[in-house]
Structure 1
């Protein structure tokens, strides 16, 4: 029997992304990229609030010092979630042709962010690593649309999606140096209706991927075998994260962006954030150490 899927709250995003669980706050964060909004829903109190930001947010992580670090299309920012104050900092990147997209922290507090061709045509994007001292390093190239990423529970594998090509890559990952190596195709979505978007891993090392275009979140064993799925009531599912006090609730974001008027009329929950209990346990998200 499929687990029940429910809407989390009344918030609706045009382009929902980046679900992020804060165990310290018993709250879920997610973002609306096109409307430049960060959402926060405190589960115990059933309270939702939002933060308006100046840049276009694409992903985020918790900070060890409190608040959030935001990946923006053309830079980074810190967000003080107590006051709403946003502090941007610039980096030495040529944003004339590429921009940042999805991001994730490793368990040493480094912030990895994928980039993409702004025209969606050429593989000029890459994979970047922002260290705690705020130095930025390009650690891979040849990416068209860098998207969801996740780290295996033992910190030896980095997964990274290129949504446009349909490949989900796996790298050997060295947690001591922060360097990925030996990129290979882990999953191949070419020829499928879905495109791989945001992802996360559970404590068994299985990869959960939002499969944009189908409304499915697929669960994949470490060897790449598809071993399960859940469905939400909209096709344009964007990303996933485990949360809740026991890390057994799966949160799923979605978007209205790209849907026609007829599709919006049919998919009345498009843009909502959903939650379900799929029978798996997630891992706590690392915090940025800078």
Structure 2
């Protein structure tokens, strides 16, 4: 029997005994303490509908062919959901690998009188499910990486809040290391707030920045330049003695940038620039 004939026979058997295979499969998942939810049963039924159709028309050799588009799309959905739910790659791949036992049981019974076909069918379905299982791991990892990148971006946004201190005065307190990725978030957050509020002064406080090197200084200067293009002047506060010495040693030119030792000093200067004063009663 040819490979195509084997594939068509295999697809037909899966369709014929779909209910039986589904019952064995879900039991196997439960036995493996698979993280079950309301969508698991639906995914199992959909998979057993899509798989034989793909096998019958596309064979068992290439899961990347157009015949397996629906199967791959469903595995992408499953893997993405599992990644968001906090499952492990092993749990996600188990969804596919655990189908082997129930398929093997049915095939051994139905093809017992045809040992050559049985051997071909078992090898074909085993190889196919291995490929699909590894595909779920690949998709799962990509989904998890995307989630991590998004969470890192969200954390950077949370760690760089732009605060409105007064009418026309904003403050951007920086805490932690200022690398290229975070500096981009800093610049975007500040510029968006300038546009939103029409602020004329932006105080960039680096009290919480542990060190200032050439790269950090360049990021600060780019942020200041971008803010000026938006019509806002910047004041840098939090210049500690160690940082002042480092800036001088690095030869960073801050001659056209106003700096203050503390945020309070910068705030007083910003108020005077916008025509406001603070007095003690």
Q: Give the TM-score taking structure 2 as reference length.
A: 0.19
The structure, 1 or 2, with the larger RCO (C-alpha pairs under 8 Å, 6+ apart) is 1
Q: Give the TM-score taking structure 1 as reference length.
A: 0.18
Compare the two structures and name the one with the higher strand fraction: 1
Look at both structures and tell me which one has the larger radius of gyration over its CA atoms: 2
Compare the two structures and name the one with the higher helix fraction: 2
